[in-house]
A and B are shown apart, each in its own frame.
Chain A
């Protein structure tokens, strides 16, 4: 670590120079006496002081949900006396300091230990990189300083907030594994179906005694099977608008995380396709580990600019099974995504488009005013007309403004969509 003179030396030298010049000019010894404390300060204040400091940098959590808090603790241990040390923990703009300060000065005696703690509130989904604090050791008068960086790279994954959902889009087709959807196929289950005459091999506990007494012969109650479904979340990362931390991709990622959590809780297999500059996907699977995989993928979802249009044909069937319910989350700003969604619907995929409105996100990013109000209203009308046109082509679209709860937006869809299940 090298000690460097600071700009304060220039101020001291200016005053010394003026005092000596005026002393010679006026022939007064008093002005030489004025310069003496300044010269002594320049001589003594430029001595390097102690810099023997050990730092332990600790972050309370490495995984958080949006708006949760993490505390960063720095323990300073001085091996020798440290008259003045300045510490600065650089924080990204997406993090708010809730308690404590990210900039501090400390003075430590030899062997002394100090704890410096701050609480951070993580505003949006991100991989928060904390690299460790910058250090600046100061001479006693601030005439010399030495800089260093304590490198302690730590990453905190801030996942999208999961909100409870009651109105989930029901898949039209179910799969072969046990789940929560009532299949039309008869078999083992708890949902009663048709009644038919008793046949050899039927369980006695399935006998419907009421029908048997009325009809005079043994009848049994059949049951519907409960099956799960494949759900594929199709996230549009071709375009993004809105203020940092609340862009349409952030809103869509939050909605995707919520949907993934809700479907996985219903024992469905959930997959994810990030349809953007880079085509990334997670194969449909069930369980808690899958939720973690999906959240990790959603954390990195962002717009990657490209002129290349990737067709949905590129996606292998094991990632996008034909029987799956596809939930597309998109602001519908990029015609390439609209084309892909129309293509999927034309190929008889069970598709639900959650159209994340970019109007509110853009309004939050621009200054309020009459022109902005009129522009927003016009844009809303234009967008409504676009959605109506897409609905006429056969797309099922849920309009979500990103402000109201997703569950409220999905409630209207639950009323409109048919409850029948087509195949087992």
Chain B
């Protein structure tokens, strides 16, 4: 049953580049990815499933750069979420092979995984919306302005992290009186 779920996810991951551009090189990559993924599913090997996913990502990148479609965040997020689930599922299937699963283990795990994937989707939506807002705000801005804004954002992030770490250390430190 778990193998079937992993196989379904592998087919989904392998099929997305083909759906964008069903060309010969993409098909060959998809065949290689499907073969690697198939062996990975049978052997419940995380390494082989990762290799299959990597081949699919390369195929996806090639399909995008040759077909030049408009950016589709939904398909990208689906692909990313499928990759998370296929890795988590393969890893769990591998370590629980032949073991007894207590009541509610699978249900609890699926709940956790879906929550994490949900957070990923929310983060992707927020970032996409932020990108849209930023692109609207920076209409007509030149490349140096974007670079300066990005550098400023990065500097603020680093400062925020330093402040956070320093505050935590001060709170833990004993009083010197």
What residues make up the interface of A, taking CB atoms closer than 8 Å to B? Answer: 6-8, 11-12, 14-15, 18-19, 22-23, 25-31, 33-41, 44-45, 83-84, 86, 100-101, 103-107, 114, 116, 140-142
Contact = CB atoms under 8 A, between A and B. Distances in A.
Contacts of B58: 18, 22
A41 B54 contact: no
Contact of B71 (A15, A30, A35, A100): A30
A7 B46 CA distance: 9
A370 B14 CA distance: 54
A39 B117 CA distance: 10
A41 B86 CA distance: 12
A22 B56 CA distance: 12
A29 B102 CA distance: 42
Given A29-B71, A34-B76, A35-B80, 19 more contacts: A6-B91, A11-B87, A15-B87, A18-B54, A18-B58, A30-B76, A31-B57, A31-B64, A33-B124, A34-B60, A37-B80, A37-B121, A45-B116, A84-B105, A86-B96, A101-B100, A103-B100, A105-B101, A141-B88
Given A29-B71, A33-B76, A36-B80, A140 B113 contact: yes
Interface of B: 46-47, 49-50, 53-54, 57-58, 60-61, 64-65, 71-73, 75-77, 79-81, 83-84, 87-88, 91-92, 95-96, 98-105, 108-109, 112-113, 116-117, 119-121, 123-124, 127-128, 131
Majority DSSP secondary structure for residues of B touching A: helix
Nearest to B128: A33
Contacts of A22: 57-58, 60-61
Contact of A36 (B49, B57, B124): B124
Contacts of A103: 98-100
Given A18-B54, A141-B88, A31 B60 contact: yes
A84 B101 CA distance: 10
A23 to B, nearest CB: 8
Nearest to B126: A36
Nearest to B122: A40
Contacts, number: 157
Which of B46, B57, B77, B127 is the most central at the interface, judged by chain A CB atoms within 10 Å of its CB?
Answer: B57
Nearest to A44: B116
Contacts of B96: 86, 105
Given A15-B54, A34-B60, A142-B91, A84 B99 contact: no
Given A15-B53, A104-B99, A26 B61 contact: yes
Contacts of B64: 26, 28, 30-31
A257 to B, nearest CB: 36
A46 B46 CA distance: 18
Given A30-B64, A35-B80, A141-B88, A40 B119 contact: yes
A141 B116 contact: yes
B84 A38 contact: yes
B102 A28 contact: no
Contacts of B50: 11, 14-15
A28 B17 CA distance: 14
Contact of B100 (A25, A30, A104): A104
